[in-house]
Chains A and B, each alone.
Chain A
Amino acid sequence: MSARSDNLKSPEVLQCSKCGACLPVCPVYLQKMEEGASPRAKVQLSKHYTEQNLPTSSHLNNLINCCLMCGNCTAACPSGVQHQSLFMRMRSYMATDHGEGWHLKTLYHFLSHEQQLRLASRFAKLGRNHMLNYLAREVKIGNIPVKRLPKFNKRPFREQIIEDVKQNTPSRGTVLYFTGCGTNYIFDKVGHSLCRILKVMGFHVEIPKSQVCCGLPLFVHGNLEKAATNITTNIKLFNRNDIVAVVTDCATCGSALHKEYEIVLKELGMDTEAAKELGSKVRDISEFILGNYELLEPHLNSKATRQKVTYHMPCHLRNGQGVTTEIETLLKRLPHVEYTRADDYDTCCGGGGTFFYDHPETSYQIVSRKIKNARATGADLWVTGCPGCSINLSGNLQEEDNISVEHILLLIEQALKK
């Protein structure tokens, strides 16, 4: 059955003045330089499709899905078109019309079933961590060689750590930590750094054990109903009144919790009040640390080993949470950092969730330019605030690159007094 027989809606398309302001900010358009790749064309095609002037087709499916969902178009749109809502809905229509790839089906299944995700991560760990070397060198996922993918955590982070991390000094309040799948299954070091830093700053960190995937990979692909289950679970756990903030170390989870939960629930016609409340409590960890920097400063060692650093700004920090200058400000304040801004430091890395897998060539061209600019700074460390960006940037570096990609939390932790 085609989604076209449903009651299609797309109020956003009437708002688009077709002015073209979205063209020069769209990483995919800038790579392809043809109108079909632009946000404006996606809006126009959506208009024709939902007005039933354009039949569905695999080409339409490709055009609609060839999008990083970075949100640059929405941020730049002077007419206020909410591209993400429209594209989410169009992706769900396309999924109804054409079905989903096996990789997406698998992804949806695991991300909406935390128990099985935990189990799957164990097998993936075995696979990744014990893959024969020659295989790991040859096999690629999207454009990333398997050997350049990070290894999985020995045990999920949330199983390694107690639910309550007590503070040293009299408590400055409770912070709830949304760990995200990135930290839980891959980057456990980031999670430990976060707990240690907040602890020395005097906060009581709580990590609700039954939290689940933020749901963003589900809803950006149009799988709104499955996402709603995850969203409701997380809202119940995190929307508390006795806390200072909900912190995230993943730009993507942060943007889901901060802004997009409300959009998704609204799209489904569900109550958005609690989502809105939760959104106002969510802080990216860089924003939270910067806002309380005076609590961190006394614990920093001015003689910590100096590092040459550059930075990649995740789209989900800027467009999803309005976190724009915070990480750069931190980098300029940290005593052991020599910071150089790279050209294009604020453009998308081209990873885009599963984009690097679905559109490897375009993704590779986008990330290559970023790598060239990062190399040119002469930095040893490429700091970012998103595990997704980390995997994509690091995965596309070459053997000879003497630069490593790291979450800003690890860099901050290095400067803590012993």
Chain B
Amino acid sequence: MDGKIKKELLAIVGDGRFRDQQEDLLSYSYDAFTVESVPDLVLLPVSATEISEILKIASKYRIPVTPRGAGSSICGAPVPVKGGIVLSMTMMNRILETNTPDRYCIVQPGVINGDLQTELAKTGFFYPPDPGSMGFSTIGGNVAQNAGGPRCLKYGVTSDYVLGMEVVLASGDIIRFGSRNVKDVTGYRLFGLFCGSEGTLGVVTEITLKVIPQPAAYRTVLAVFNDLDDSAATVADIIGSGILPAALELLDKVLINAVEDANNIGLPRAAEGLLLIEVDGSEEQVEKELALIIEKTENNNAVDIQEARTPEERDKLWQARRSLYPSMARIKPNCIVEDATVPASKVPAMIRGIRSIVNKHELLVGISAHAGDGNMHPLISCDMRDLDEMERVEKAIEEIFTLAMSYNGTLSGEHGIGIAKRKYLPMSIDEPTLKFMHTLKHAVDPYGILNPGKAI
């Protein structure tokens, strides 16, 4: 990057938030995906005004700009594949307002999801989207990826909770849309467009989120199966019967053992399949729903049903669920997680299909799923240095996507496209539709400077 341009950018943020030494650039070259790419410059802005100034310069000189939250994405979304500027949002991390009587909160994009939960819990409220990374991922990142999580089965994903946003466009214009109202049909529903846009349409600088009261009661059980098919059939059975648990998570034997090796929390190692089921609501409601769920699991040959008796036991089970990715990643240097998603009734067929594909390609794969909403999570343990293995991984991924599409599924339920799945987009989106998306992108970012090479 030209020294003159650097000087202009330095003048905006000052010494303390301008990084161009190799060591710092390397620190912003990765997320939790496998591909790395080093930017030319890292800036750590603290306001929309600064970002506006930065984008004006970037537009003028056609410099790529990649916004970044905690860098915990697993699809490469914040990796600056075309170099340029990484815009780290971590210093914009203030919760600006929590207003539980009016059921909203306003946050800066760098706020960590878990910190927001802690703050809201003080008043008995919560913000439902709970990605596995919630302890460290940022709300801005969650919005960019339209993150989901286990309890999104019942409560919906990030975009279901965004009420309004402030966004800086590539031109440097600062726009605001939405409001603090759950009901709002004034103008286009733009936040639906920005959720999941992976930083390709603008830089989100403030987010108004809907929050809801915590349920009065919850119950968490672990159902153990000797046959993975039985656990998948239970999922289809529960969802098909009209019960809506807060979460319905499936784990296969590979994962049960990976988690045990890593965390030793006492999961039954011999089981072929586990379902982690949580119901919440009023006391009467959880009692009734749990009885029905237990009946379904028993009808499907569950060999054991264990209930978490204390909040600590419940946390432990959820901790186990959230640690799947790193538990698999410790087996080999890399771990690739796909999140093809299918209608719930297709979960049993999909799981059988994934197992047969990965067996055929002789890969070490653990299968988990936010099974209630058909969101598959095959975790592929691999070594990027083993080219033969990576070739088999590629083939398996493509076959899994093809299978998902044959069940009217989709490529990604919640992780996003990033660079990981971009080449598979035509499987899911037809040409005129993709063209429409590019038209929109071109209209707001005519020079294509915002996170080039991602999402669409």
Which A residues, 370 to 408, have Cβ-Cβ distances below 8 Å to chain B?
none
Bound Cα distance A255, B130 (Å): 35
B23 touches A18 (CB 8 A): no
Bound Cα distance A23, B30 (Å): 14
> Does residue A45 face the partner (Cβ distance < 8 Å to B)?
yes
How many A-B residue pairs have C-beta atoms within 8 angstroms? Tell me. Answer: 98
Contacts from B to A (Cβ < 8 Å): 19, 21-24, 26-32, 44, 70-72, 88, 90-91, 93, 110, 112, 114-115, 133, 135-137, 262-263, 323, 325-327, 329-330, 333-335
> Does residue A48 face the partner (Cβ distance < 8 Å to B)?
yes
| Contact flags A356-371 to B (C-beta < 8 A → 1, else 0) | 0000000000000000
Choose, from A77-85, A110-118, A128-136, A211-219, the stretch at the interface. Answer: A77-85
> Does residue A41 face the partner (Cβ distance < 8 Å to B)?
yes
A19 touches B32 (CB 8 A): yes
Q: Which of B28, B29, B136 contacts A24 (CB 8 A)?
A: B136
B325 touches A19 (CB 8 A): yes
Contacts from A to B (Cβ < 8 Å): 14-15, 17-21, 23-24, 33-36, 38, 41, 44-45, 48, 54, 57, 59-60, 63, 77-80
Q: How far is the CB of B149 from chain A (nearest CB, A)?
A: 15
Residues of A within 8 A of B112 (CB): 24
A18 touches B27 (CB 8 A): no
Q: Which of B21, B30, B90, B135 contacts A33 (CB 8 A)?
A: B90
A-B contacts, 19 of them at CB < 8 A, read A17-B329, A17-B334, A18-B71, A19-B133, A19-B136, A19-B325, A19-B326, A20-B32, A21-B136, A24-B135, A34-B27, A34-B91, A35-B24, A35-B90, A36-B23, A38-B27, A59-B21, A59-B23, A60-B23
B326 touches A21 (CB 8 A): yes
A79 touches B72 (CB 8 A): no
Known A17-B326, A33-B91, A79-B330; judge A63-B23 contact (CB<8 A): yes
Residues of A within 8 A of B135 (CB): 21, 24
Bound Cα distance A347, B115 (Å): 15
Bound Cα distance A44, B136 (Å): 18
Residues of B within 8 A of A18 (CB): 30-32, 71
Q: Nearest 10 CB-CB pairs, A to B?
A: A17-B329, A78-B326, A20-B72, A41-B27, A79-B326, A35-B27, A14-B333, A78-B323, A79-B330, A20-B136
B71 touches A35 (CB 8 A): yes
Bound Cα distance A176, B21 (Å): 51
Residues of B within 8 A of A36 (CB): 19, 23-24, 27
Bound Cα distance A21, B327 (Å): 12
Bound Cα distance A216, B24 (Å): 29
Residues of B within 8 A of A23 (CB): 70, 136
Bound Cα distance A238, B145 (Å): 56
